[in-house]
């Protein structure tokens, strides 16, 4: 297992948090996801088959920006 932490722009409310949690949580191998709109931080615990690129693409597909 590994932890991935991303800075995400565009989260404005709990609804945004839930959209990200649902999208990222649907990735096979993701065990737990948390998203905080006030800090812009998304943290997840995932199996080794889940890469940061996979998570970044999923978040950007639903309209948010992942900062480098």
Instruction: List the helix and strand counts (H, then E) for the chain.
Output: 2, 4
pLDDT of 67 reads 95
Q: pLDDT tens-digit profile of 9-33?
A: 999 999 999 999 999 999 999 999 9
Residue 55 φ then ψ, to 5°: -65, -45
Are 50 and 30 in contact, with CB atoms under 8 Å apart? yes
Q: What is the pLDDT of residue 17?
A: 98
Q: What is the pLDDT of residue 27?
A: 98
28-67 per-position pLDDT tens digit: 999 999 999 999 999 999 999 999 999 999 999 999 999 9
Q: What is the rounded distance in angstroms from the CA atom of residue 21 to the CA atom of residue 67?
A: 17
CATH code of domain 2-67: 3.30.70.100
Instruction: Tell me the C-alpha distance between 45 and 22, whole Å.
Output: 14
pLDDT at residue 68, rounded to an integer: 82
């Amino acid at each position: 297992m590994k932890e991935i932490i991303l800075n995400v722009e565009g989260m404005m409310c709990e609804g945004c948090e839930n959209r990200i949690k649902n999208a990222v949580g649907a990735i096979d191998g993701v065990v737990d996801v948390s998203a905080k709109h006030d800090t812009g931080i998304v943290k997840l615990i995932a199996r080794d088959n889940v890469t940061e690129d996979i998570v970044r693409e999923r978040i950007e597909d639903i309209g948010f920006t992942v900062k480098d």
